[in-house]
A and B are shown apart, each in its own frame.
Chain A
Amino acid sequence: MFAQIFINRLKCLLRNRETVFWTVAFPLVLSVFFNLAFSNLDKSETFNPVNVAVVNDENYQNNIFFKAALNEVSKGDDRLFNLMEVTEEEAERLLSSNSIDGYITVGSSLKLIVGKSGINQNIIKSFIDNYLHTFSTVNNILVKNPAGSRALFENLSQRVSYTREVSPSSAAPNNVLNYFYTLIAMACFYGCFWGMREITDIQADLSSLARINTAPVHKMKAFIYSLCASLLIHLVEMAILLSFLRFVLNVDFGSRTGYVILTVILGSIAGLSFGAFVSALVKKSEGFKIGIMIGATMIGSFLAGMMYQNMKYIVAKKVPLLSYLNPVNLLTDAFYCLYYYDTLKRYAINMGLLTIFIIVFWTGTYLVIRRRKYASI
């Protein structure tokens, strides 16, 4: 009986193009849009050297300390400046054509000429200020304590930072990942469409298709067999989505692949159970139920940071309870925990809460559909 119901159910569900679109094609298309929209976010985090010119005159050539300092920060892959040594006229021309962010003239003092204000201009200014400050300090020490010059130069070459950045993770923070993680969570919850379909087709008061109620088959067993088909389809869909994200869009899930798969499985079960619960509980039209499910999933995704990443942190700060009551956020956060944190404590809390949601949804569904006789059809 299992094979009979399971195989026919697979055929039935897979040929339902509308549900297949919403559960697999829509998240895939959305992920491509996300990739197009957010791929530049990470690029903006990488530093591009500032284009700067210095007027190459006698003063510049004579100021060997400044020249050495400027050349030092304009070398290598991690250089601060793309330095051009040009005449003043050429520097002016380059500035006018926005080819450089500013140019420096060396005279009795150092002058920075910029066309506008901005981050790059501030970087050049900071460099000059820092140089002047260091030069002045060195000068004073040499005048007052010439004997300490050796130690001074050793210290200068080994600058010490007195603050230390401590990361809770070996992984690098990533602004974009959360968008993709909310997308996966949303896709998991789109399994609600399959859950709804299962309830509709098994309940004699919801569908004329529920011949199963008049057949010599245990209703709950038939429901579970059908549900297995739905779960299998949804898991395959999620596998397609994850593979696409990982291997085509290069979304990083960290190194805990097993836990990622476990999270997707639990998320898919949560999505199915959510759809079944809404469908069993709400005695309205199918369109109304779909509205509730899409609405709840999209609100959950929004609060988890799908449309605005900081929303996740705003909710966590202002209404922390809401972030625990939002299963989409729990899933999103679980993925992020797996990627970012070295420990599994927070991940375990998320999964525990999600499991409670699943239990609540299934218990509610069972209490409604266990009825074998209906008050009205």
Chain B
Amino acid sequence: MVVKVKNLVKRYGNLVALDHLSLSIEEGEIFGLLGPNSSGKTTAINCILSLLKYDKGEIEIFGKPMSPESYDIKRNIGIVMQNVAVYNELTVYENVNYFCGLYIQDSSTRKKLVDEAIEFEGLQDFTRFYPKKLSGGLLRRLNIACGIAHKPKLIILDEPTVAVDPQSRNRILEGIMELNRQGATVIYTSDYMEEVEQICSRIMILDAGRAIATGTKDELKSMISLGEKITVESYFVSQEQVEKLQRLPNVVSVEYKDHHLVIKSGRGFNNLEAVLDFIRRENIEFGKIYSELPTLNDVFLEITGKNLRD
């Protein structure tokens, strides 16, 4: 077990930020903490890192209790904070070298690791640049390079793709998967369900400081009743037609809003053919029609009654 958290409680006055949170992360996992803003993701990370005092609970990393003095544990952890944490007065190379130097004393080993981290994040052409000269995406990559240069066994990334363009985001996500393939265990927090779904082997969904569901993405999706969501873009659908659709077998709900007809079906059935038949029969004109399997947002919606990014 790389990380084990048991009954973690953190309060800010009357506000319960973490409510008896328990989790365990196995070696080699990419563990996603998914939840909306203020759900407790960063608080959980800060408690795990012993940066924050907590009211109750136990935290073990690499099988040992974590404390601010656990230098042997910290040596094997890499942190990528939500806010970019680099020195504006140091160049890209100097930043990576400085933070790597807090873990690696030997200068030749450090140089090798710094070069590798810079290459890994594709920053070779920017080593003499100061952070203020970097784009948002490059800055995020520098932030990651500073956190991973010392080749940690456990990498904690707290929303590393905030305000990043899609190209840089993909590069960052691919990089995280590569680090995992190289043997690192990863904790990844985000409120972007697509990212978590794309890279995480196991996911915990947090809401208001509580873990509301944990499992692989398939396990999470199997927890809900929704099986398929068909969306039809159509200029006009009458109320009568909506009601008829609702009477089709296995249809859970039908909603027509903003020229989008959304038909949700129960798990285990495919309704696309029946819906297409109905549209032809009723001569409903349509632009596009597409079918989707449930997303993590659907899981979150069904459990909490609200969207992840509300």
Contacts and interface: CB of A to CB of B under 8 A. Distances in A.
Interface in A1-44: 1, 4-5, 8, 11-13, 15-16
Given A8-B90, A214-B77, A216-B75, A372 B50 contact: yes
Contact of A214 (B79, B86, B89, B105): B79
A58 to B, nearest CB: 86
Contacts of A67: none
Contact of B74 (A8, A216, A375): A216
Nearest to B68: A372
Interface residues of A, number: 28
A213 B102 contact: no
Interface string B72-109: 10110101011111110110001001110111010000
B171 interface: no
A220 to B, nearest CB: 11
Considering residues B86, B87, B147, which has the most beta carbons from chain A within 10 angstroms of its beta carbon? Answer: B87
Given A11-B89, A209-B87, A215-B74, A375 B99 contact: no
Given A204-B51, A211-B85, A216-B103, A372 B90 contact: no
A209 B87 CA distance: 7
A374 interface: yes
Interface in B171-205: none
Contacts of A210: 85
A211 B102 CA distance: 10
B133 to A, nearest CB: 13
Q: Is the interface of B mostly helix, strand, loop or mixed?
A: loop
B18 interface: no
Nearest to A8: B98
A15 B89 contact: yes
B74 A372 contact: no
Interface in B40-61: 46, 49-53
Contacts of B87: 12, 209
A312 to B, nearest CB: 39
A9 to B, nearest CB: 9
Interface in A217-236: 217-219
Contacts of A5: 101-102
Most buried by B among A208, A215, A372: A215
Given A11-B89, A374-B52, A1 B105 contact: yes
Given A4-B98, A218-B71, A374-B51, 7 more contacts: A5-B101, A12-B90, A208-B81, A208-B84, A211-B81, A213-B51, A374-B53
